[in-house]
Amino acid sequence: MKSTTSRTVSAASLALALGAAVAISAAPVMTAQAAENEKCFGVSLKGKNDCAAGAGTTCAGTAKTDYQGNAWKYVPTGTCTETASPTSPTGYGQLEAYKEKA
């Protein structure tokens, strides 16, 4: 099937784009940028499977979960409280404990 004729993007412009891409990516600026990226993205993950036991006899696992579909006592307290929120009068996230509307 030859659909090229109906394209608004010509074969020539595709070749131009790909040719320019090869030229840009070979330029030293790009390689320097890539090296820069490596430093700031070099977060190494941990292996998550292990054979150790954790917290002993007292921790979350034995507590009944607080969420029963209507009430929840925890309020987000992390960085989300610092995000701008256009809908709130203070400009910051207004967070309160979740309670299902009756």
Partner 1 sequence: MTLSLLADENSGAPALSSTLPLRAGIGLKSQHYRQILESQPQVGFFEVHAENYMVAGGPFHHYLQRIREHYPLSIHGVGLSIGAEHPLDEQHLDRLAALIERYQPQSFSEHLAWSSHGELFLNDLLPVAYNATTLTRVCEHIDRVQNRLQRPMLLENPSTYVEYASSTMDEASFISELIRRSGCGLLLDVNNVYVSCINHNWDALGYINALPLHAVGELHLAGFAEDRDSAGDRLLIDAHGAPVDDAVWRLYAQVLQLLGPTPTLIERDNDIPSLEVLVAEAQQAERQLALHRTPQRQALA
Partner 2 sequence: MSDQHDFVAALLDPERDCPAELSSWNGADPSSRFAVYRNNVISSLVNALADSFPVVLQLVGDEFFRAMAQVHVHANPPRTRILAEYGEAFPAFIEGFPPASSLPYLADVARLEFLRIQAYHSADTAPLNAEQITTALSQPDRLDGMTLELHPSAAVLSSNFAIVSLWAAHQGEMAIAQVDPLRAEHALVLRNRLDVEVMGIRHGAALFIQALRTGQCFGEAAEQALAIDPEFDLSHLLAHLISTGALTGYRFAP
Which stretches of the chain bind partner 1, using CB under 8 A?
44-54, 56-58
Contact present, 11 and 4 (Cβ < 8 Å): yes
26 near partner 2 (CB under 8 A): yes
Q: How far apart are CA 93 and CA 50, in angstroms?
A: 38
Q: Is 54 helix (H, G, I), strand (E, B) or coil?
A: coil
| Closer residue to partner 1 in complex, CB, 50/66 | 50
Which amino acid would we find at residue 48? Answer: K
Give the binding site for partner 2 (CB under 8 A): 1-4, 7-9, 11-12, 14-22, 24-26, 30-31, 34, 37-38, 40-43, 45-49, 53-67, 72, 74-80, 82-86, 93-98, 100
